[in-house]
Structure 1
Amino acid sequence: MTSAPGLAPQQRATYREVLANRRFRLLFVTRTLTVTADSLRIMTLSVLVFATTGSPLLGALTFGVGFLPQLAGSLFLGSLADRARPRRLVTAGYGLQCAAAAVMGVAHLPVAAILVVIAAVASLTPAFSGVTNRLIAETLTGDAYVLGRSMSNMSASAAQLLGLAGGGAAVELLGPRSSLLLSAGAYLAAAVAVRLRLPDLPAPEQAVRHGSRRGFGSVLRHSWSGNTKLLAERRVRTLLLAQWLPPAFVAGAESLIVPFAGGRGMPAGSTGLLLACLPVGMLAGDLAVGRFVRPAVRERLVAALVMVIGLPLAGFALDPPWVMCAGLLLVTGTGFAYALGLQRPFLDAVPQASRGQAFGLLTAGLMTVQGAGPVVFGAVAEFTDVGVAMALAGLATVCVARCVAPWRTGRGQ
């Protein structure tokens, strides 16, 4: 296990020191590349399916079908992240995504088959993402690990924006099928880079001792029992919910920005600016808190930053002008830096033998609840008002602050 040179667990690291680690740099670059490819693929397939069928429902389903199967994959296949050789599993994951994108780009598959392919790949994603996050936890220690997670979050946000924005341009210039092949090429580049540059590390010793090589049949049993044990631990469960619920509530509010702007007669073009404010705020918050705030202080600020997420959203009940709405959303985005204060407590709370599976469960749960948030608060908006529904999402986030107070995470000082 390596970390940034000379850093004690409570010593503040720098982003430069984290990037100096070769293994992290490889994982960081390849993950950023594949997140961009994911966004490009999602955007392209949504356009392709809508153009083929003319159905808004099928277009939206194509956009979201990659989320829910991740939870099933984590429940039944998540233990692979702690039982397989990392290089083989990561390379296989990127290779599978490359093959799926290439097949959908070359073959004229029916819509049902496209949805099945997307769902099948999504069900395996927790194992691939889990082993990547486990490698990062084994590569970086102390504050370097927290900043590594911060960099991963910031690059993922930027890559999603690039992939979604670039997806529209790629479809316009190249056509949807060529755009899918472009995303396949990005997955292939990531797979080749991992295969050539990542050392062929062995499977975790504890996995070998417990017979992880007896066959694939035991994966289902170990995955289910492993998740049951993780969720049975009160501290782990609290930390998972702390990382799931605020994003779910904010996703619900974010999904209402378009109808809010339209219903208030806001200027043309303001909707796009409003949608961009949240990720911009997230990038700024992660950068500022990660760079300038000491590790122990980050953990004490968790509850306060969760309040920063929720309170600005409550202002939407007052129908503010669009410039003020942009400011509120920017501030909301900065509060997402609260997650930096939970990284080390979560890592400490999870048994080392289950780290990969725990990270897979964290990611899969996050994707699932972010898909559910818009449904819940969209239904609330149907019976109340869009601004009121957004405010309720903010107040629900404020209520979570008590659950993520430092004494609840076991890190209070």
Structure 2
Amino acid sequence: MTTYTSVLRDDTFRVLFGTRTLSILADTLRIVALSLLVYAATDSPALAALAYGIGFLPQLIGASVLGALADRIRPRRLIVLGYLAEAAVAVVLAAVPLPVWAALLLVAAAALLTPVFMGAQNALIADALTGDAYVLGRSLAGVASSLAQLLGLAAAGVAVATIGGRNAMFLAALGHLIAAAWTRLSLPEASVVRPVRGGIAAASWRGNAVLVRDRTVRRLLLVQWLPPAFITGAEALMVPFAAQRGFAPGVAGWLLAAIPVGMVAGNLVVGRLLAPPRRERLVPSLIALMGLPCLVFALPGGPSWPILAAALVVVGFGFAYALGVQAAFRDALPAEGRGQAFGLLSTGLMTAQGLLPAVAGLLAESMRPALVIALLGAATLLTALTARTARTAWTARTAASGSGLAVHGGRGSGSSWGA
């Protein structure tokens, strides 16, 4: 029986798990410190918000023109370079008194590389863990990511208050440097999947086009992109919602913390206690579980904030739907382009989660935040219906392969679900 302990015995996964968790801590610290420094320098909430999210949208460009690098450079070297680049950005931000525009441009430039080394990391995990071990590995990574973000947010506030924003940035750089050294010394080397043929930008465009034209891969991408994006848009309105409802100061923080708590619980319960076939069958229901509680925000009179926080914990629990999709996504990919495919997946997640808060904010200018939150919940419910329909397509595809495995040659777990 596969367990979290057995997954952590794999040398490759253990190193990638530890270094990525450390990197998330360091990155959260850097993002918060930069946002606070920008606000202190400009007194502009808009610029502070831009500093917080400046690393999202450039990833779309990075995946478009550099994504093929994930399959053309030795993964260990690529991952080390990614962490060193993050460390260098933090050092420059801490040591050099840059104008705000230059600081934001520097962070955006570094974000171009994120899809490349994230794609290499995820491809290595897909190669190292087979069967249900892969899903449990992703579950464990999801729990660690949520906890690291919560801890990073708390640590950032303490660090900025005690040692100052620039010293906090140096601390973030140290975290990335440790992750780079840990990777270089402990991660087993792996070979390049295929040699360079033609320009990187052209190869990246071709690879992305091949992935998006594949109907099953496209559906799997969309079902992993859209529900988190809609919920992120709803999260972005918690502060104005709490203010409009007249809740006490600090309630917005409790509402924002509720979803990560639910995410941790969902990953543990669904990843550890449910068998793979049941996880896959529950995907549409878990997506619906993300959207349905958002509707209570628009109820006449409005529930009390503890009830709303409990509803958001349920929303977070629903994020575990991804555990029923990940094996199907891995199995649907061409073996020679996994790194680029995983980079495209993470890029779409970041881009969608960067755009939806802006869209939600614009909608909230002309209607109540509570109503916008409910509309985003309804949009999530629609994706649940789409996921249910798409499952039939993936079942037919795996049946046509004659073995229940991917027709592209990826390692299979007997998955019968797709989106």
Note if 1:175 corresponds to 2:156: no
Q: 2:220 aligns with which of 228, 235, 239?
A: 239
User: What corresponds to 1:3 in structure 2?
Assistant: none
User: What corresponds to 2:385 in structure 1?
Assistant: 402
Q: 1:48 aligns with which of 37, 42, 46?
A: 37
Residues 353-364 of structure 1 mapped to structure 2, 5 A cutoff: 353-364=336-347
The residue type paired with residue 333 of structure 1 is: G
CA offsets per residue over residues 155-209 of structure 1, 9 Å max, x none? 11111111122111111111111111100000000000111111232211xx13x
Following the alignment from structure 1 to structure 2, what is the Cα–Cα distance between the partners of residues 113 and 372? 22
User: What corresponds to 1:144 in structure 2?
Assistant: 133
Moved more, 339-348 or 53-62: 53-62
Residues 68-217 of structure 1 mapped to structure 2, 5 A cutoff: 68-204=57-193, 207-208=194-195, 212=196
TM (norm. structure 1) is: 0.93
User: What corresponds to 2:359 in structure 1?
Assistant: 376
Q: Percent identity?
A: 52
Following the alignment from structure 2 to structure 1, what is the Cα–Cα distance between the partners of residues 229 and 417? 25
User: What corresponds to 1:226 in structure 2?
Assistant: 207
User: What corresponds to 1:9 in structure 2?
Assistant: none
| 8 Å contact from structure 2 (residues 324, 417) kept in 1 | no
| 8 Å contact from structure 2 (residues 91, 170) kept in 1 | yes
TM (norm. structure 2) is: 0.92
The residue type paired with residue 151 of structure 1 is: L
Superposed CA RMSD in Å reads: 1.3
Give 3-state SS (helix, strand or coil) of 1:58's partner.
helix
User: What corresponds to 1:349 in structure 2?
Assistant: 332
| 8 Å contact from structure 1 (residues 239, 409) kept in 2 | no
User: What corresponds to 1:392 in structure 2?
Assistant: 375
The residue type paired with residue 79 of structure 1 is: A
CA offsets per residue over residues 113-136 of structure 1, 9 Å max, x none? 111110111011000100000000
Give 3-state SS (helix, strand or coil) of 1:383's partner.
coil
User: What corresponds to 1:270 in structure 2?
Assistant: 251
Q: 1:366 aligns with which of 349, 353, 376?
A: 349
CA change 1:279–1:140 in 2 (3 A) is same
Following the alignment from structure 2 to structure 1, what is the Cα–Cα distance between the partners of residues 393 and 259? 27
CA offsets per residue over residues 361-395 of structure 1, 9 Å max, x none? 11111011111111222222222221111111111
| 8 Å contact from structure 2 (residues 328, 417) kept in 1 | no
Following the alignment from structure 1 to structure 2, what is the Cα–Cα distance between the partners of residues 409 and 303? 14
| 8 Å contact from structure 2 (residues 7, 133) kept in 1 | yes
| 8 Å contact from structure 2 (residues 11, 187) kept in 1 | no
| 8 Å contact from structure 1 (residues 238, 409) kept in 2 | no
| 8 Å contact from structure 1 (residues 238, 403) kept in 2 | no
Give 3-state SS (helix, strand or coil) of 2:192's partner.
coil
The residue type paired with residue 280 of structure 2 is: E
The residue type paired with residue 126 of structure 2 is: A
Q: Which runs of 5+ in 1 are unaligned?
A: 1-11
The residue type paired with residue 124 of structure 1 is: L
The residue type paired with residue 184 of structure 1 is: A
The residue type paired with residue 270 of structure 2 is: V
Following the alignment from structure 1 to structure 2, what is the Cα–Cα distance between the partners of residues 45 and 409? 44
Moved more, 343-352 or 258-267: 258-267
Following the alignment from structure 2 to structure 1, what is the Cα–Cα distance between the partners of residues 122 and 259? 25
| 8 Å contact from structure 2 (residues 223, 387) kept in 1 | yes
Give 3-state SS (helix, strand or coil) of 1:84's partner.
coil
Q: 1:252 aligns with which of 233, 241, 256?
A: 233
| 8 Å contact from structure 1 (residues 68, 367) kept in 2 | yes
How far is 1:408 from its partner? 4.0
Following the alignment from structure 1 to structure 2, what is the Cα–Cα distance between the partners of residues 363 and 287? 22
Following the alignment from structure 2 to structure 1, what is the Cα–Cα distance between the partners of residues 243 and 358? 19
Q: 1:288 aligns with which of 258, 261, 269?
A: 269
The residue type paired with residue 73 of structure 1 is: G
Moved more, 269-278 or 35-44: 269-278
CA offsets per residue over residues 234-281 of structure 1, 9 Å max, x none? 111101000010011101111111111111112332221111100000
The structure 1 segments of at least 4 consecutive aligned residues displaced by more than 6 Å after TM superposition are none
How far is 1:300 from its partner? 0.6
| 8 Å contact from structure 1 (residues 295, 341) kept in 2 | yes
User: What corresponds to 1:7 in structure 2?
Assistant: none
CA offsets per residue over residues 333-384 of structure 1, 9 Å max, x none? 1001000000011011111111111110111110111111112222222222
